[in-house]
Chain A
Amino acid sequence: MANYLAQFQTIKNSCDHIVIAVEDVSNLWPTVKDRFDERLPFRRASLNNKTRNPVFVENLNAEFILTTDSRLRSRFPQEQSLFWFREPYATVVLVTCEDLDEFKTILKPRLKLIVQNDEREWFIVFVSRAHPSNDNAIKSAKKVYDRVQVEFSTKKRERCCKFDIHGPEALFWEDLESKIMDCVRNTLDRRVQFYEDEIRKLSEQRFMPIWNFCNFFILKESLAFMFEMAHLYEDALREYDELELCYLETVNMIGKHRDFGGVEHGDDHAALLNPGNKPLSQIVQDDSFREFEFRQYLFAYQSKLLFKLNRPFEVASRGYSFVISFSKSLTSHEHKLPFCMREVWVITACWDLITASSSQYKAGLVAPDIEKEFYRLQGDLFSLGRVKFMRLAYLVGYGNDIERSPVNSASLSMLPWPRPSVWPSVPSEASSEVLEKEKLILQTTSKTKHFGIQRKELPLEPTVLLREANRRRASLSAGNAFEIFDGHPSMTDGSGPDGSSKSPNSQKKAGVSMSRTFSSPGNFEGSPDRPMRIAEIHVAAQHALQETISDEDLWKSLSSVEEFEKKYLELTKGAADNYHRSWWKRHGVVLDGEIAAVCFRHGNFDQAAKSYEKVCALYAGEGWQELLADVLPNLTECQKMLNDQAGYLSSCIRLLSLDKSLFLNKEREAFQAELVRLAHSELKDPVPLDVSSLITFSGIPGPPLELCDGDPGNLSVTVWSGFPDDMTLDSVSLTLMATFNADVGAKAVRSSTAMLKPGRNTITLSLLPPKPGSYVLGVLTGQIGQLRFRSHSFSKGGPADSDDFMSYEKPARPILKVFKPRALVDLAAAISSPLLINEIQWAGIVVRPIDYSLKGAILHIDTGPGLSIEKSFVIEMESCANLSQTEPDTPNSFDSQNGSPTANKQLEQLTLEDGKINFPDWASDMDSVIWVPIWAKSDSLPRGSSSVAPPRPNMVDGMRTIALNLEFGASHNQTFERHCSLHFSDPFHVSSRVIDKCNEGTLLLQVILQSQVKATLTVYDAWLELQDGFVHAGQGDGRPTLGSFPLAVSPTSKGGIIFNICLGKTIDENGAEKSESIVNIRYGISGDRTSGAHPPVAMEYSGSDASRKDLTFRSVLVLQRPVLDPCMAVGFLPLPSVDLRVGQLVPMKWRVEMLKDLEDKEISKHNGEVLYEVNANPENWMIAGRKRGYIPLSKKQGSRIVISVLCVPLVAGYVRPPQLGLPNVDESDISCNPPGPHLVCIMPPALSSSFCVPV
């Protein structure tokens, strides 16, 4: 059966559509062929799949072939059953007949003969050639057709349809298509059934020795091919999948040693998408196929079907796993395959898969996650191809052009070397190439990193190639190879003649350095047993690869370094782009870094910097510092080349802020030196730089600094410097963010030059007066040369873990609290009781700081009118213990240590300069009293009062004000103003009364002294200076009658002194009349300034009692002579006895009588007329007569006159009647009757109709 393979393949290639046979009975086909062919392909068809479920297929291709055609005729029956899929799926019998008899006799037997073969699905198309105008023909044709229907159609199945050549066609074609489809479906079902039965039979024999995979394959693939023809791709794919499974099961069966394949020329190029790569007959082996070709063949068919199903994603996905698993198979057969066959195959397979799947893939048609996955697979394929390509490139000696980055190193160093049975050796004619290669190797200098960073280069090789290659050479034992390495220790440590290997620990570069030492010219010619040198290995590999590689594109890419780089870049870009599209940013960005490395090597720094930045951003963002440390120096170098100062500086900062262990201290110092050099010399314009990662800061632990509104202050912050060395900052400033409002409150605090040591530093910044609120640390800015740096980050602990904390929001701790404006100090008068007026007194001013220091405070004192400060005396200040005791735990009281505040009571004498007092330091935190000597002046003598005229207290006279202005705060920015009122008064209030009138005209005058101050007064002496009209009785020295001095008067109590006086005239020497009496009191005072009045200031200093100066107090007393002789009498005449009523006229009468002769009185001035005046309350009375006028009155004694005035009372009740006054006569000359005010009763008005107002 395997012999049919070639035939099978031919059939498959020639026939890719279903065949519909046409039995042309009446020779009609030439006429209708074109019209039949027009219907192809069938636009829509419903077929059954393998599980007998209807499936709609579109554009089903088919071909009408006459049964007489050679293609259908010349087949052997066995062939027919084997390749049944190519047999017609339907038979269309074309007939026409216009005569019934003819039909019966000729046509019918013939048709019966044709259709008796049950194997075929058939139906009859009756073609009517009758012209529509020819009714007879139509009728006869119809008759014949009816007959045909009767004969051939059954109830179950309609097998006839009629085609009018000249009539309307639409219905016919529909009918025809449905009939064809019925036939095709039935045929397909039958054949599927047949194949399945056959396959099952074969499968059952699978483990028997006679089992032949080829037979199974032909059957299985026939079925698959049939499905494919019928556009049932899913089913076809499933068949191929089953076929693959079955093959993999059988191919690995133990005991059967089979040829793997892959040794032919061109096999290195993967044929996994090219089903027709090799004819099957070529790959058949015994009863099966060679694995190498056959697996690719199967995959090619699978992918073809998948592309037809429009599933390029699946091609890529299956393809990737296929490449991986196939690569494993290749590995296991590697010893039989050409050198690096596996790598070459993988590369070409990946490229083919990428090209095919991406060309078939239309973006946006599939679900997003599928799309993502597709791009991911593309990326994987690219990167797989890339790795293998790099491996080949390394073998041919382009290793120096491959960046030793983590990605390349990880891919290559974990990938084992190819394991050919024998490592290729140098062809004899290639000696010139070897020399050239050696020259090339000598020319390459090892790259040194920027800043002299010394890093071990990452390996690109799993083991040293030199050792591996020599070990695999048949003629050389492993022991010899070791001898080579161990025998020349001096050559491995980099001290070879070229001396280019700078790193002392360049064990990894042993391969390279050794190659140089071995490649010294002269010892080139050697025996085949001699170990190969590295250049020889490269050349040998190159030649071997040339043998292996049939793909011109690939070979070209490996032919020169430039071509290699071109391809390398293409692959890397492809992988990176696809990974980016699949959102695998890490894979993508890392490959971007590889592109950057190539750009960098070629001097395209701009592009390189861009890509490196991406890589750095990725690693920095995710905190993978070791990886970042590898790539960041490259970025820095790029930025330096591009003269991107800002970027370069920030990269330096980033390098510095990486974990300390990643760079040597020397390297870190180099970074810093570079930074400082740039900042101070090269930069022309200021460059901003973020150093948040390097310089971090935090507040001093503990409670926040508390300030009152308007106060400046000093804020200390801890600054962590990540610089490896001391760093001098030209200036530092810090902004504070207000927590209450983000918009406001960025306050800058400044400090001048600061030196940052590595590690922890404390910087003190002076603070401008901020607004009230609490503040957190904001941004630290500063300047180093032309460099403006800023740092946003707070460090919590030390720099060791600051990097990890950086990315976290930390609860901001307030660093500064500024309180709202509040009372910071209180000034008040110390006492409220009066002080002595006209004496120098201590006025106490209580200064009470309210949780606020008064250090350096200045008090301005300004006295009001009538008050002056006695500058000749010092001002005293004393601590005021009793006041602060009320708040013993004030926060500021810790300054006054050593027990209770009373224990260290302070007293200090101060002087007043320009009205200012400077506070001593001790007074800054505690309550204190300032005693100021003041003198309240009052020019007027105090007036005493008599029992007749009681004293009217007048506080205002004794009030004085004192204006206080306190300047305090750290820079005297706070002020406090207060007007204090002080009360002054005389020591005594004097009142007097005559207590008795004695016989001889002597009067006993009692002078009562009432103490007005809160101090004990002692009266030592008192005397009275009398006014005119009074004289002292007795000897008359003005002293009181009873000498009971000293007389002590306690506060608020009274004391009395009695004087003996009498009326009489004194002749004054000066002739001046004294209208007032004055009482003089000599007294002493004993009081405390803290409670009120006290001895005057001057006296206190005089000391002892002997030199005591008594005080003198003078007060005016007014004595009145008693009233003796009125000269006129005014009497109110009784009212009429009738009741007084409201509204009733009442005559009021007064009688004025002259009691004495009035010669010298004022009346005489008016020629005997006396002025009178009636006074009445106008609300009570209406006066009807003259209110004021002159009445004639003789000056003679006894003359009298009655004044009568008509009055009308206006209100009822007791009211005061009108009064008669004589304005021109002194009141003391008038005797009134009644003497005082009196009342009269007024009745309400009598009820009278006349008062009624008619309504």
Chain B
Amino acid sequence: MATTASFIIVSRNDIPIYEAEVGSATKREDAAQLHQFVLHAALDIVQDLAWTTSAMFLKNIDRFNDLVVSVYVTAGHTRLMLLHDSRNDDGIKSFFQEVHELYIKVLLNPLYLPGARIASSHFDTKVRALARKYL
């Protein structure tokens, strides 16, 4: 499992709708904000790259010293962004695909308004389990 990994789902309006620190490393107190900052800045790159490829998985689009940003862009332009230090591309890809599936399930919930914050604890548990499995 990766020592540092920060996972964020960004809605099509660039609003973060889900955040999770999924790394195994003991979290630095200020890390969350820095990770947020790095991921937010990476949106600039995603916005350029997303339209140049038909692939959903954009791996290693941004590098921040030891940390790397990988992004998975869904068809609805929701972006699953992962800031990580592991190099396990296959694992990250599988992680993204499974989280995408979970996200679709959330979307299918009639009570969930697309673009709203995902508050489901079930979703959170599942994402963390996936992170343990793949990252």
Contact A413 B13 (CB under 8 A): no
Contact B40 A508 (CB under 8 A): no
Contact B36 A624 (CB under 8 A): yes
State A805–B116 Cα separation when bound (angstroms): 6
> Which of B32, B38, B44 has the most chain A CB atoms inside 10 A of its CB?
B44
Known: A584-B44, A586-B43, A624-B40. A456 touches B29 (CB 8 A): yes
Known: A622-B15, A626-B32. A414 touches B65 (CB 8 A): yes
Contact B13 A807 (CB under 8 A): yes
- With an 8 A cutoff between CB atoms, is B90 at the interface? no
Which of A404-412, A474-482, A1149-1157 is found at the contact surface with chain B? A404-412
Contact B36 A627 (CB under 8 A): yes
- With an 8 A cutoff between CB atoms, is B34 at the interface? yes
State A640–B32 Cα separation when bound (angstroms): 30
- With an 8 A cutoff between CB atoms, is B67 at the interface? yes
- With an 8 A cutoff between CB atoms, is A529 at the interface? no
Which residues of B have CB within 8 Å of A908?
Answer: none
- Residue in contact with A623 in the complex, picked from B16, B33, B64, B65, CB distance below 8 Å: B16
Contact B14 A623 (CB under 8 A): yes
Interface residues of A in 617-641 (CB under 8 A from B): 619, 621-624, 626-627, 630
- Residue in contact with B116 in the complex, picked from A579, A585, A626, A804, CB distance below 8 Å: A804
Contact A410 B37 (CB under 8 A): yes
State A1208–B104 Cα separation when bound (angstroms): 111
- With an 8 A cutoff between CB atoms, is A771 at the interface? no
Contact A808 B36 (CB under 8 A): no
Of chain A, the residue at the smallest CB distance from B4 is A414
Of chain B, the residue at the smallest CB distance from A412 is B65
- Residue in contact with B16 in the complex, picked from A508, A587, A624, CB distance below 8 Å: A624
Contact B40 A585 (CB under 8 A): no
Tell me, rounded to whole Å, the shortest Cβ–Cβ distance linking B124 to chain A: 15
Contact A414 B66 (CB under 8 A): yes
Tell me, rounded to whole Å, the shortest Cβ–Cβ distance linking A492 to chain B: 16
State A984–B117 Cα separation when bound (angstroms): 78
Tell me, rounded to whole Å, the shortest Cβ–Cβ distance linking B88 to chain A: 20
- With an 8 A cutoff between CB atoms, is A801 at the interface? yes
- Residue in contact with B113 in the complex, picked from A413, A579, A805, CB distance below 8 Å: A805
Contact A808 B115 (CB under 8 A): yes
- Range of interface residues on A (Cβ < 8 Å): 20 to 34
- With an 8 A cutoff between CB atoms, is A511 at the interface? no
State A924–B65 Cα separation when bound (angstroms): 79
Contact B67 A414 (CB under 8 A): yes
Contact with B along A796-808 (1 / 0, CB 8 A): 0000010011011
Which residues of B have CB within 8 Å of A1174?
Answer: none
Contact with A along B25-46 (1 / 0, CB 8 A): 0000110111011101101110
Contact A413 B34 (CB under 8 A): yes
Of chain A, the residue at the smallest CB distance from B8 is A624
Contact B37 A627 (CB under 8 A): yes
Contact A407 B30 (CB under 8 A): no
Contact B117 A801 (CB under 8 A): yes
Which residues of A have CB within 8 Å of B113?
Answer: 805, 808
Contact A407 B15 (CB under 8 A): no
Contact B15 A508 (CB under 8 A): no
Which residues of A have CB within 8 Å of B61?
Answer: none
- Residue in contact with B64 in the complex, picked from A410, A587, A627, A804, CB distance below 8 Å: A410
Contact B30 A458 (CB under 8 A): yes
Main secondary structure on A side of the interface with B: helix
Of chain A, the residue at the smallest CB distance from B13 is A807
Contact B30 A626 (CB under 8 A): no
Contact A406 B37 (CB under 8 A): yes
Tell me, rounded to whole Å, the shortest Cβ–Cβ distance linking B79 to chain A: 12
Which residues of A have CB within 8 Å of B36?
Answer: 406, 624, 626-627
Which residues of A have CB within 8 Å of B67?
Answer: 414
State A413–B32 Cα separation when bound (angstroms): 13
Contact B13 A456 (CB under 8 A): no
- Range of interface residues on B (Cβ < 8 Å): 20 to 34
State A622–B37 Cα separation when bound (angstroms): 12
State A456–B34 Cα separation when bound (angstroms): 13
Contact A804 B17 (CB under 8 A): yes
- With an 8 A cutoff between CB atoms, is B119 at the interface? yes
Which residues of A have CB within 8 Å of B17?
Answer: 804
Tell me, rounded to whole Å, the shortest Cβ–Cβ distance linking A580 to chain B: 11
Interface residues of A in 404-463 (CB under 8 A from B): 406-407, 409-410, 413-416, 456, 458-459
Which residues of B have CB within 8 Å of A804?
Answer: 15, 17, 115-117
Of chain A, the residue at the smallest CB distance from B29 is A456
Of chain B, the residue at the smallest CB distance from A623 is B15
Contact A586 B33 (CB under 8 A): no
Tell me, rounded to whole Å, the shortest Cβ–Cβ distance linking B33 to chain A: 5
State A410–B30 Cα separation when bound (angstroms): 10
Tell me, rounded to whole Å, the shortest Cβ–Cβ distance linking B128 to chain A: 20
- Residue in contact with A590 in the complex, picked from B41, B45, B65, B66, CB distance below 8 Å: B41
Which residues of B have CB within 8 Å of A630?
Answer: 33
Contact A406 B34 (CB under 8 A): yes
Contact B37 A801 (CB under 8 A): no
Of chain B, the residue at the smallest CB distance from A796 is B113
Contact A627 B14 (CB under 8 A): no
Contact A458 B33 (CB under 8 A): yes
Which residues of B have CB within 8 Å of A407?
Answer: 37, 41
Known: A414-B66, A586-B40, A622-B14. A627 touches B116 (CB 8 A): no
Which residues of A have CB within 8 Å of B119?
Answer: 801
State A5–B119 Cα separation when bound (angstroms): 70
Tell me, rounded to whole Å, the shortest Cβ–Cβ distance linking A405 to chain B: 9
Which residues of A have CB within 8 Å of B34?
Answer: 406, 409-410, 413-414, 458
Known: A409-B34, A508-B30, A630-B33. A622 touches B65 (CB 8 A): no
Tell me, rounded to whole Å, the shortest Cβ–Cβ distance linking A1177 to chain B: 92
Interface residues of A in 780-825 (CB under 8 A from B): 801, 804-805, 807-808
Which residues of B have CB within 8 Å of A805?
Answer: 113, 116
Which residues of A have CB within 8 Å of B115?
Answer: 804, 807-808
Contact B15 A807 (CB under 8 A): yes
Tell me, rounded to whole Å, the shortest Cβ–Cβ distance linking B104 to chain A: 19
> Which of B34, B43, B66 has the most chain A CB atoms inside 10 A of its CB?
B34
- Residue in contact with B40 in the complex, picked from A414, A579, A627, A807, CB distance below 8 Å: A627
Of chain B, the residue at the smallest CB distance from A586 is B44
Known: A456-B29, A808-B113. A587 touches B41 (CB 8 A): yes
Which residues of A have CB within 8 Å of B15?
Answer: 622-624, 804, 807
Which residues of B have CB within 8 Å of A807?
Answer: 13, 15, 115
State A1036–B37 Cα separation when bound (angstroms): 127
Which residues of A have CB within 8 Å of B45?
Answer: 584
Which residues of B have CB within 8 Å of A808?
Answer: 113, 115-116
Which residues of B have CB within 8 Å of A456?
Answer: 29-30
Tell me, rounded to whole Å, the shortest Cβ–Cβ distance linking A371 to chain B: 13
State A622–B17 Cα separation when bound (angstroms): 11
State A976–B73 Cα separation when bound (angstroms): 67
Of chain B, the residue at the smallest CB distance from A416 is B65
Of chain B, the residue at the smallest CB distance from A625 is B16
Contact with A along B100-131 (1 / 0, CB 8 A): 00000000000001011101000000000000
Which residues of A have CB within 8 Å of B38?
Answer: 410
Tell me, rounded to whole Å, the shortest Cβ–Cβ distance linking B131 to chain A: 20
> Which of A585, A619, A626, A807 has the most chain B CB atoms inside 10 A of its CB?
A626
Tell me, rounded to whole Å, the shortest Cβ–Cβ distance linking B82 to chain A: 16
> Which of A410, A414, A623 has the most chain B CB atoms inside 10 A of its CB?
A410
Tell me, rounded to whole Å, the shortest Cβ–Cβ distance linking B65 to chain A: 4
Tell me, rounded to whole Å, the shortest Cβ–Cβ distance linking A460 to chain B: 11
Question: 7 A-B contacts, Cβ less than 8 Å apart?
Answer: A406-B37, A410-B38, A416-B65, A456-B29, A586-B41, A586-B43, A623-B15
Interchain residue pairs A-B with the least CB separation, the first 3: A623-B15, A406-B37, A622-B14
B interface residues with partner A (beta carbon < 8 Å): 13-17, 29-30, 32-34, 36-38, 40-41, 43-45, 64-67, 113, 115-117, 119
Q: Given A409-B34, A587-B44, A804-B117, 16 other A-B contacts at CB below 8 A?
A: A414-B64, A508-B30, A579-B44, A584-B45, A586-B44, A619-B40, A627-B36, A627-B37, A627-B40, A630-B33, A801-B119, A804-B116, A805-B113, A807-B115, A808-B113, A808-B116
